[in-house]
Every structure is written in C-alpha cells, then in structure tokens.
Amino acid sequence: MIVDYHMHLRDPDERIDHTVAAVERYVEAAADRGVDEIGFTEHVYYFEQTRHLWDEESMLERCVYDLDRYVGAVVEAKERGLPVKLGLEVDYVAGRERETAEVFAPYPWDYLLGSVHFVDGFGVDQMPGLVEKLGPHEAWRRYFVWLRNAARSGLFDSLSHPDLVKHHGPRPDPETTAWLHEETADAIEAAGVCVEVSAAGLHKPVSELYPDRPLLEACHARGIPITLASDAHVPQDLGRDLDRAVAHARDAGYETVSVFDRRQRRQEPLG
Ligand SMILES: [Zn+2]
Ligand SMILES: [Zn+2]
C-alpha cells in the first residue's frame, strides 16, 4: 500500500484552500500517481482556535483561518467515500501540552503529526536559525531533547521529519550524532509513537531524506512503526519522491507502513 500522510491543503498556487474542491484536486493527483490513501496535515498555527498556544510572531500572523472549516472539508470528502484522512501538523510547545490537547479534543482526527520547527525561539529549518545561533553540536542536542519531549507528550501519533535539524547541512561529530540517534529511538519506542519517513528533505539544502539511515535503522530495531510523507504544499507535489522514501524504509528493514483511522493504527504492506 502506498500512502502519503503529510500534505497541506492549498490551491495550486499554494494559497490556503480549505474546501472540498481542494481536497478533490489532491485525490485526483493521488489517483494519477498510484497513491492509495492521503492524509491532510495543515499547519496548526494557521487556525485562530490555536492562537493562545503561540508566541512566535510568524505563527501569530498566520492564525486567521477557521479550524472547523478545514475539518469540515476533509470530513465531508471522507463521508463521500474519498480515500482521505483527517490530520494536522502540530508544533510541539513545551509546557502547553494540556492546552494543546484541549484545542484538539472536539475533532474526529485520524492522526496528529508532531513537529519541532522552533527550539527556544529559534527556527530549526531557517537560515540563519538554531544551528547558526548555537552551533551544530548544541543545536542538535537541544532539537532532539524537544523531539523526545514531543514523543513523550502523548499528543501525537507520528513525528514529522524527525531529524529536521539537518535541514541545511551542518552536523555535530559522528559520535554525538550516533548517540543522539540511539537515545532518541529509545524515547520514541517508550512513547509508542511512529516516525515519519519524509521525502521533503530532498528538496531542502541538505538534499537528503528524513530521517538519516542510522536513526531509521535504530527505530526499526526497536519495532517503531513508520508513516510516509511528501510534505506537499500544492497538489502537484503530492507523492513526490515517495518511491525513494519507500526504498529508504526498506533499506532500513521496514516491510509495513502505518495507516490510521480515528487514531487507531494498523499495519499494511509497504509499497
Ligand atoms: Zn514541518
Ligand atoms: Zn508539513
């Protein structure tokens, strides 16, 4: 089974378009590319209902759309029998776990992705950002502390682009990296969440899949399941390089992929 469980519901020019017509455009693209099931995961900070969770100016500026409208569009498409799932890409904010859970409680999510885009106020995938501010060693150490806390929070079903901190290249020494991978895989296993294998990194300065092969192998060794992602922000990018993400997962030993329905996970054959 081929699934793409990370995409943003936009029109072909990348403007927010939380309508059933927009969902249908993605469903057509999925059919063209042989993707069996897709899940929408709009960024959480676009919704006015989440405004009280954020401090970042860039997030507050975007907090103007209606979460009910987004959920309504995806649910309606689902009720019409289209192969779509309702999700959200949620930024993990330490100390706001209870408020985050309260915002999402009323909605019929199939799954929630947990992301770490900001660490201590610095952008992880920005240039200059966290890595430039703290240097690669401290940036990676702190990023993975946040990711492990996101896993342990109990808020999420899968962790998006789990080593996003490599986004534009600089890395700590191999020993530190190896240790961070192992420690992070331990925490994810204990938390019982999935990790995402994402093709998005191929189109970032680092030009690599997320996560690194050793981290993915460490996850596989611990029985941590995976979800698959293009992270498309327009329908034309749906499924992009998913074949490479599937190959990456297979190389790490994976034979199944996770699918979700109302936050219940089951495993399907990969590919
Ligand atoms: Zn993201
Ligand atoms: Zn995304």
Residue 202's pLDDT is what?
98
Nearest bound ligand to the CA of residue 229:
2
Q: How many secondary structure helices (H) and strands (E) does the chain include?
A: 9, 11
Write the CA distances from 223 to 33, 48, 160, 218, integer angstroms. Answer: 29, 37, 18, 9
**Helices of type H across 90-222:** 97-104, 130-134, 136-152, 174-191, 213-221
From ligand 1's centre to the CA of 89, what distance in Å? 7
Nearest bound ligand to the CA of residue 115:
1
As given in the structure block, the two tokens for residue 117 are 């885009």
From ligand 1's centre to the CA of 211, what distance in Å? 13
Specify the CATH architecture of the domain 3-269: Alpha-Beta Barrel (3.20)
Candidates 167, 185, 183, 164; CA nearest to 175 is: 183
Residue 266, number of CB atoms within 10 A of its CB: 10
Q: Are 102 and 56 in contact (CB under 8 A)?
A: no
From ligand 1's centre to the CA of 262, what distance in Å? 22
For residues 7 and 46, give the distance between their C-alpha atoms in angstroms, rounded to a whole number.
14
* Type of residue numbered 148: R
Nearest bound ligand to the CA of residue 237:
2
For residues 226 and 214, give the distance between their C-alpha atoms in angstroms, rounded to a whole number.
15
Cβ burial, residue 118 (10 Å; 0-12/13-18/19+):
buried
Residue 226's pLDDT is what?
98
From ligand 2's centre to the CA of 230, what distance in Å? 8
Q: Where are the domains of the chain?
A: 3-269
From ligand 1's centre to the CA of 161, what distance in Å? 7
Residue 178, number of CB atoms within 10 A of its CB: 15
For residues 245 and 210, give the distance between their C-alpha atoms in angstroms, rounded to a whole number.
8
Residue 9's pLDDT is what?
98
From ligand 1's centre to the CA of 219, what distance in Å? 20
For residues 32 and 239, give the distance between their C-alpha atoms in angstroms, rounded to a whole number.
10
Residue 257's pLDDT is what?
98
From ligand 1's centre to the CA of 35, what distance in Å? 21
For residues 49 and 27, give the distance between their C-alpha atoms in angstroms, rounded to a whole number.
27
Name residues of the chain where pLDDT drops below 50.
none
From ligand 1's centre to the CA of 173, what distance in Å? 25
Q: Are 48 and 66 in contact (CB under 8 A)?
A: yes
Looking up tokens 């309260």 gives 102
